[in-house]
Amino acid sequence: MSKKKQSLNRLIIISLIIAAAIYLLVHHFHINDFRVIEPTVLYTSGQPQGMDYPRLLYKYHITTIVNIRPPSEHKDHNWYTEEIVWTRNNGVSYIEMPIEKSSYFPDEQTQDNFIAIMANKDNLPVLLHGGRNDERVALLAAAWLRKSQGYTAEHTSNTIKKIIEDRELTEGEITFINHLAK
């Protein structure tokens, strides 16, 4: 094999190794759909897993995790047990506020319960999580932003668009946000 071909093969192998290392590092230090809604107060994410939990505790000092996924979404998966064990072992409060995926608009009682959790300074900072790009998380965060933080409908909409990957809001979501302050 010629020296040129050997050099090219080495370069390709080294490039692949570097690319794999970068991918693993980014994946290892990335929490799915993590968003800072209000620093040191409210964060949102998809389902944390593995090393996400220590990062949430040590980097963001999460005191309370609010899970909006109902039992039907975790009965066949191990994440629920992992989350319960981790929160208990690390002194993190764990609160379940199930919202069905099919009717993802949080009802008045769920909104009030979440606002009460957020009003208790001992609970802060809070991680509100569901699945990937979860509209339920976005709309529950919207209720807190509008009702407790006094965000305008436009500011709230712009904030929650980031939670759901910058997609345009549906008419139902816009109506929901507009009616929150009334």
Mean pLDDT of the chain: 87
pLDDT over threshold 90, residue 20: no
Q: What pLDDT is attached to residue 93?
A: 97
Q: Residue 65's pLDDT band (boundaries 50, 70, 90)? A: very high
Which two tokens mark 64?
Answer: 């309370």
Q: Could you tell me which of 69, 170, 112, 111 has the C-alpha nearest to residue 160?
A: 170
pLDDT > 90 in the chain, percent: 55
In 91-130, which positions are buried (b, 16+ CB within 10 angstroms) versus exposed (e)? ebeebebebeeeebbbeeebbebbeebbeeeebbbbbbbb
pLDDT over threshold 60, residue 25: no
Q: What pLDDT is attached to residue 1?
A: 61
The lowest-confidence range among 12-16, 43-47, 82-86, 88-92 is 12-16
Coil, strand or helix at 102: coil
Distance between CA 50 and CA 25 in Å, rounded?
A: 14
pLDDT over threshold 60, residue 6: yes
Q: What is the pLDDT of residues 110-167, one digit of tens each?
A: 999 999 999 999 999 999 999 876 899 999 999 999 999 999 999 999 999 988 887 8
Q: What is the pLDDT of residues 67-88, one digit of tens each?
A: 998 877 776 567 788 888 899 9
What average pLDDT does this structure show over 30-34?
A: 81
Rg (CA), the chain: 20
Top-confidence residue, 9 or 75:
9
**What letter does residue 77 receive in the DSSP assignment?**
S
